[in-house]
Structure 1
Amino acid sequence: MTARLVLVGCGHMGYAMLAGWVGSGRIAAGDIVVVEPNDAFRDRAAALGCITASGADGLPADIAPEIVVTAVKPQAIRDVLADYARFGNGATTFVSIAAGTSVATFESLLGENTPVIRCMPNIPAAIGKGMMVVYANAHVGAEARRFVADLLAASGEVASIDDEKLMDAVTAVSGSGPGYVFHFIEALTAAARTAGLPAETAARLAVQTVYGAAVMAAESGEEPGVLRQQVTSYKGTTAAALDVLMGEERLTRLLIEAVEAARKRSIELGS
């Protein structure tokens, strides 16, 4: 059977990436086999035109995929990989999006010569605005690197690192980061309601303000600090608020603490 890619797991992140690949035309749906035990998740992959299977035992004996993407929870990765050992130590490149799971884990389970790319995406990949960071071992060929980078680009921005140890920091910043931003929106909405605004208006102001500021930061070419200074009039309203947020570096210290907690948890998940 001819199939360029096998996607193992089609939950929220797996499906978000799959929809981006197919929707962008970077790979034909018929060239993808999705392995997913959940009926509803498998059905939505089939609706995109992908070939589906409920388990690894449903894959044809003669299948030889270029890429196997594992989109399963870190706690399950060892059990799952055992079913794909026949593709190890060969031409198949494995791509992992399991937080905290090292390349060495894949090599120990699939063979030390297995090409492995470790990727940390985030949930905005679902709308093509994600941040994907990759690390590849020495066995990954140039063609596979280009193909995987092109696939990932369908879901947002792609960056690479040369030191795998930095992946825990990547996980803590961009992988978990959307959760921090969502909570900030929650908090800003609550503050707006406390200030007297109706609930619907408060929510709308909070979301659009964060969205607009993020787009401006991305597209203006200016450093965030410069933009902050530009909107802060001397002894104005923004200055009064920033005195609270920036006093004693409150927000910065809080985020450093939060990112460090996430980084440590990423390390724990990989041990």
Structure 2
Amino acid sequence: MTGRKFLIGGNWKMNGSKALVDTLVTGLNNATWNTDEIEVVIAPPAPYLDLVRSKAKKEVNVSAQNIYFEKKGAYTGENSSEFLKDLGINWTIIGHSERREIFKESDEVTAKKVAFALAEGLSVIACVGEKLEEREANQTTEVVFRQLKAIAAVLKPSEWTNVVVAYEPVWAIGTGKVATPQQAQDVHHEIRTWLAANVSAEVAQATRILYGGSVGAKNSGELQKEVDIDGFLIGGASLTGDFVTIINTRASA
């Protein structure tokens, strides 16, 4: 046993409606899991954060999908940490591959957001991962380590307590492709080794590393057996009943 609580996260991305909120939250409210062993975090689109928080039972953590690194001001369209805390939201995802690729957020901007969110008392799911051409060029660890280095450069070792790292091979997100359990484990182990060498052995042991990339009900059981996989950041399957199935699969392991 690693002592790390398994985290199952659901990123709804830009999908949602009041009807979908009712369906998904009702499913979660009816599910049961040992909160000493499993942590559940869901990230609906910003307009539904308050509705989800008001409907979901307390065992369900609610997360933003992104925030800005200022509390307030002339930043049209951005999410503020102050907004989140006012709504009882205590998590945020930062550095998702879609933020990096589509919205061109650099490693430095991602790191700045991570540091700001932690200073504001939020817990962070910080995403890292390589594109297909980078994997094929054997650059996976080079890319992931570069992304981690930017974050480590702005954090003290003590600040990693509220950071969860999500490894997301970009080539496996929404494509139906998935890293094999061994491929995922290999990168998770490399991340943990990097944290030990560049932050501290204690941080490496304690930090949860999630796998994200076409995780579903059919493959979660095998993936969760790997020693360095401490949970999942789930996209498409978080919008269906598969999300509860994945929780149940872990709960019965």
TM-score of the aligned structures, taking structure 1 as reference length: 0.29
Higher gyration radius (CA): 1
- The structure that is helix-richer by fraction is 1
